[in-house]
Amino acid sequence: MTVAQRPWWKDGIVYQIYPASFKDSNGDGVGDLNGIISELDYIRSIGVDVIWICPMYDSPQVDMGYDVRDYEDVYRPYGTVQDMERLIEETHSRGMKIILDLVVNHTSDQHKWFQESRSSKDNPKRDWYIWRPARYVDGVRKAPNNWVSNFTGSVWEWDEHTQEYYLHLFCPEQPDLNWENPETRQAIYQSAMEFWLKRGVDGFRVDTVNMYSKGDMQDAPITDPGSEWQFAGYQYCNGPRMDEFLGEMNQILEKYDAMTVGECPNTLDMNRVHQYVSAKEKRLSMVFQFDVVDVGQGPYKFQTTPKNWTLPDFKRAVARTQDLIRAPSDGWTTVFLENHDQSRSITRFTSDLPQHRVSGGKMLALMMCALSGTLFIYQGQEIGMTNFPESWDMSEFKDVDSSNYYKMVAQRTNNDPTALAAAHKSLQHLARDHARVPMSWSTAPYNGFSPPDAKEKPMIKSLSSASGSACF
């Protein structure tokens, strides 16, 4: 009787690295690949088995690299393809594996594919993206449907040159690829996946993995009467061809024994989640469920406070993430409290007051390590980094999601000071910016993120040593 070999990714600890804010090796104020290489021994020393690199691809950086201009090149301030090849080699030489972010729901509007697609309606790549004619109501041009973008506003952008709208579930600078087109899919598999798998990458964290098949794109129900644009996440996620698309991807991934962890928002049905991670179905190795990090959030994620949830709420959310490893499930799950899209867990779930910070951080770490599933740690989480100080004003919030939310509140309330103060308070609690400040390495200038003689200050202000240094 042959015992099936246990997949390597079930026993690994994954450490997520956000290149821009991890380690600046050359003093230009931006983290880079050589900075990551310089700290691989440290990463290995804390028990990490796999490193996950957030997007390092060539990008205009509208959404910090999640707007890819070229899958086969590297954002120059981070380094070069040769630097990436060295990072892969150095990681493997230390007995660790490396996975990349796979961002293929959309590209940058500067990607050559989209530049061709928008050049004319007759271009061979026109159908590589999702274009629709306008609707007209009483002679007034309207978007094809009422969906709201993940970053506020409509998901549709008017293209004056070709007189049609294109779809962008995120920023206007992030047009959605048309996965219904087989040519598009093959180009994605070759350029975004095999280019890096052939260079030794061990898998991918798959961004917005359940958004590729968008269904019939009918209007969403009215859930926000004060807005023209409505939440449609349950319509464009988990569409009718998702299993087919993931099956195609897996045919490539299996050749390399690659792991995948899919970002799977707007999926309340646990049976659907199980279908994605079933060992028998072979679609994804595991997924991120957001029940825990979303606990207590309002209709829009920033509309919450630390007291909007109770301990039983938190317990139920944690228990739900464990359902995928309970019989009769043949799936697998993930354990995480932080990533590049979340605020810091000590601030979010315990208290970052000096008298509570250490014990709160240790309690969360113990809970995570006691749960079943692949453990994911975000850079700085292991030393107890917290949200940046409440004294920082709105000028310090650099993320597009934060700025768009604040602008939306300003527009809806005619710049009402009370509403804007509440919006600022919400961002102090939940903004993605908190996870994106430079990593704290020491009490040296810039907390050791940049060399002491750096030519440029870090692109995002460093935390003071009192707020950002190690607590364990």
Query: Is 160 one of the catalytic residues?
Result: no
Tell me which residue has tokens 């308070």: 425
Question: What's the rounded Cα separation, in Å, for the pair 87 and 243?
Answer: 33
Q: Closest by alpha carbon to 72, among 178, 209, 231, 197?
A: 197
The catalytic position among 101, 176, 207, 341 is 207
Tell me which residue has tokens 């290995």: 44
Query: Is 219 one of the catalytic residues?
Result: no
C-beta atoms surrounding 418 within 10 Å: 8
- Cα–Cα distances in angstroms (integers) from residue 300 to residues 401, 416, 427, in the given order: 11, 19, 12
What would the two tokens of residue 119 be? 């050049």
Cβ pair 398, 433 in contact under 8 A:
yes
What would the two tokens of residue 201 be? 């990458």
What is the number of residues in the chain?
Answer: 472
Phi/psi at 83 (nearest 5 deg)? -65, -40
Handedness of CA 334, 92, 81, 115 (dihedral sign): negative
The catalytic position among 49, 173, 263, 433 is 263
Cβ pair 113, 128 in contact under 8 A:
yes
Q: Closest by alpha carbon to 359, among 338, 385, 384?
A: 384
Indicate which residues carry an active-site annotation: 207, 263
